[in-house]
Chain A
Amino acid sequence: MFDVASIREDFPILQRQVHGKPLVYLDNAATTQKPRAVIEALVHFYEHHNANIHRAIHALGEEATAAYEETRAKVARFVNAPRPECIVFTRNATESINLVAYAWGRQNVGPGDEIVLTEMEHHSNLVPWQRLAQETGATVKYIGVTDEGTLALNDLSSFIGERTKLVAVTHVSNAMGTINPVEQLVAAAHRRGAVAVVDGAQSAPHMPVDVQALDCDFYAFSAHKMLGPTGVGVLYGRYELLDAMQPFLSGGEMIRRVRLDGANWNDVPWKFEAGTPNIADVIAFSAALDYLSALGMANVRAHEEELTAYALRRLRQREELIIYGPLDASRRGGVVSFNYPDIHPHDVGTILDREGVAIRAGHHCAQPLMNRFGVAGTVRASFYIYNTAEEVDALLQGIEKVRAFFGDAGR
């Protein structure tokens, strides 16, 4: 059973106050808080096992290497990757996507080729592909977004065609919460022989994910959005693709042998992990995965869906609010995105902050999506395992206070 009260006790930061009010942390799509187990794992590593990995012929080095590689195996199990070697550690999801854009893209995309994205992508799954297109002479096509905030997939064949080399799509929209039918897009890409990249930054933390069932070729996510430390990203890649790719960054660790006239590369995945990686944070990420696995990702999803349904119901009661994204919680992640018609999201954000309620106000690194809806930004509340219905009530109280404060200011 999902016991939120006992979960909350595992998160030291949830005890603190902000501006004299209890912290209500609803900015989980940006980053999540860390349970004591993760913080302790980090300290424990530095106090007991700290050493560089993959080279030292001493006990600490062996322990550190084992813990680092165990985390890789755990990540593979978490997303059901067929083998640990399919998991590459990076700094964040952004770097994971850049790795594909540079190492796979520059090798496989050329003039006249087409890259298919969607209008709802986070900048991290947009700008690397725009740059790739500029450098290679390829074209970018964008699948549109409906008024409901879902992908307009009715004429998919006009987007994904013979010239399509790559399809990159977000699993769950960070700005509006929409869950996309990525299996359908992956299948369409594969029918045309194109490679499919899924941005999983907002799905891996919040629902069961099986990269083999999705059948995607690459899947990127970040540890810090799922209880882990900052500075650790994951790239899952299909082994044959990773194996055929040239390195991304180069230097130590990624080589097998270096001569004055050249070098050859280490095996996958170490070929893509040049230099000393973020050893301590990767190892502490292991504790985050244990925490989530103990809860069960299906339970995590059920909890968030329930909270999201409640939040949507409460928000809709205030009729003047404009809500973005599907109104059915079963079709969205734990994200609600909305605006007052006449009050800027930053003014809403400032007043909520004074109430101790942390939300995100702005464009959520998805400016094309904001332009699609004709807004500069939205107010976004995003939930996680430790959030409660009472916190949704606190959000709504804050929102009422915004109206009371501004009166009919901008009308």
Chain B
Amino acid sequence: MPVDRDVELDELYREIILDHYRNPRNRGSLEDPSTSGEGDNPLCGDEVKLDVAIQGDQVAAVRFLGRGCSISQASASMLTQAIMGLSLDEVETLFESFKGMMYGSDQVDAESLGDLEALQGVRKFPVRVKCATLAWNVLQEALEQHRKAKT
């Protein structure tokens, strides 16, 4: 059936987001992760679990498992691609830019976010912002644990 176009809806569900939802990247778990984290949005029932392998100061591998809405799962899939090979400082910077984009800061250089920029449309749907940021909060918690374990 023909769908009359709704621009904001198309922005929310950009093709690249639906693609990540249909074909999640780096789905699974690691046998010997340096750190792991899991979290959920009790209100929606979105769940994300992340395993991260860190070598030296760099993200060497990352896998995710989860269930939930398209935004939460696509965001987790995109995250795994975005942080591969980055240093922990770079991950931090990326997270700040991502949060800036999701919470409406004008000073974010969208290009530095790569594919993640596609999640920008979620901003117009305040109740869904939590879905997009879930995986990132899980990552932050996992890295925080990693830092604590090292010191």
User: Which residues from A are CB-within-8-Å of B6?
Assistant: 19, 354
Query: Are B22 and A362 in touch, CB under 8 angstroms?
Result: no
Question: Which of these binds chain B: A80-88, A154-162, A249-257, A402-410?
Answer: A402-410
Q: How far is the CA of A344 from the CA of B47 in the complex (A)?
A: 12
Which A-chain residue is minimally distant from B13 (CB atoms)? A405
User: Which residues from A are CB-within-8-Å of B18?
Assistant: 406-407, 409
Instruction: For residue A348, give the distance in angstroms from its CB to the closest CB of chain B.
Output: 9
Q: How many residues of A contact B (CB 8 A)?
A: 22
**Contacts A344-B70, A350-B12, A354-B8; A370 near B45 (Cβ below 8 A):** yes
Q: In this assembly, does B3 line the interface, its C-beta being within 8 Å of a C-beta of chain A? A: yes
Q: In this assembly, does B21 line the interface, its C-beta being within 8 Å of a C-beta of chain A? A: yes
Q: How far is the CA of A351 from the CA of B9 in the complex (A)?
A: 7
Q: How many residues of B contact A (CB 8 A)?
A: 24
Q: In this assembly, does B149 line the interface, its C-beta being within 8 Å of a C-beta of chain A? A: no
Query: CB < 8 Å: which of A343, A363, A406, A409 contacts B45?
Result: A363
User: Which residues from A are CB-within-8-Å of B71?
Assistant: 347
A residues 355-389 near B (Cβ < 8 Å) are 362-363, 370, 376-377
A residues 311-363 near B (Cβ < 8 Å) are 343-347, 350-351, 354, 362-363
Q: Which of A344, A354, A362, A407 has the most CB of B within 10 A?
A: A344
Q: How far is the CA of A354 from the CA of B10 in the complex (A)?
A: 11
B residues 1-60 near A (Cβ < 8 Å) are 1-3, 6, 8-9, 12-13, 18, 21-22, 43-47
User: Which residues from A are CB-within-8-Å of B22?
Assistant: 409-410
**Contacts A350-B128, A400-B1, A404-B3; A376 near B12 (Cβ below 8 A):** no
**Contacts A354-B8, A409-B22; A362 near B3 (Cβ below 8 A):** no
Query: CB < 8 Å: which of A344, A401, A409 contacts B3?
Result: A401
**Contacts A346-B69, A351-B9, A410-B21; A377 near B3 (Cβ below 8 A):** no
Per-position contact with B for A31-59: 1 when CB-CB < 8 Å, else 0?
Answer: 00000000000000000000000000000
Query: Are B3 and A350 in touch, CB under 8 angstroms?
Result: no
Query: Are B1 and A404 in touch, CB under 8 angstroms?
Result: yes
B residues 130-148 near A (Cβ < 8 Å) are 131
Q: How far is the CA of A406 from the CA of B44 in the complex (A)?
A: 19
User: Which residues from B are CB-within-8-Å of A406?
Assistant: 13, 18, 70
Instruction: For residue A347, give the distance in angstroms from its CB to the closest CB of chain B.
Output: 5
**Contacts A347-B70, A401-B3, A409-B18; A376 near B44 (Cβ below 8 A):** yes
User: Which residues from A are CB-within-8-Å of B8?
Assistant: 354
Q: How far is the CA of A149 from the CA of B1 in the complex (A)?
A: 33
**Contacts A401-B3, A404-B1; A409 near B67 (Cβ below 8 A):** no
Q: How far is the CA of A255 from the CA of B3 in the complex (A)?
A: 64
Which A-chain residue is minimally distant from B9 (CB atoms)? A354
Residues in A lying within 8 Å of B, measured CB to CB: 19, 343-347, 350-351, 354, 362-363, 370, 376-377, 400-401, 404-407, 409-410
- Could you list some 17 contacts between A and B, CB below 8 A? A343-B70, A344-B70, A345-B69, A346-B44, A346-B69, A346-B131, A347-B70, A347-B71, A354-B9, A362-B45, A363-B45, A370-B45, A376-B47, A406-B13, A409-B21, A410-B22, A410-B70
Excluding A351-B9, A406-B70, A409-B70, 15 further A-B contacts by CB distance (< 8 Å) are: A343-B70, A344-B70, A354-B6, A354-B8, A362-B43, A376-B67, A377-B45, A401-B1, A401-B3, A404-B2, A405-B13, A406-B13, A407-B18, A409-B21, A410-B22
The 6 closest A-B CB pairs, nearest first, are A376-B45, A344-B69, A346-B69, A404-B3, A347-B69, A347-B70
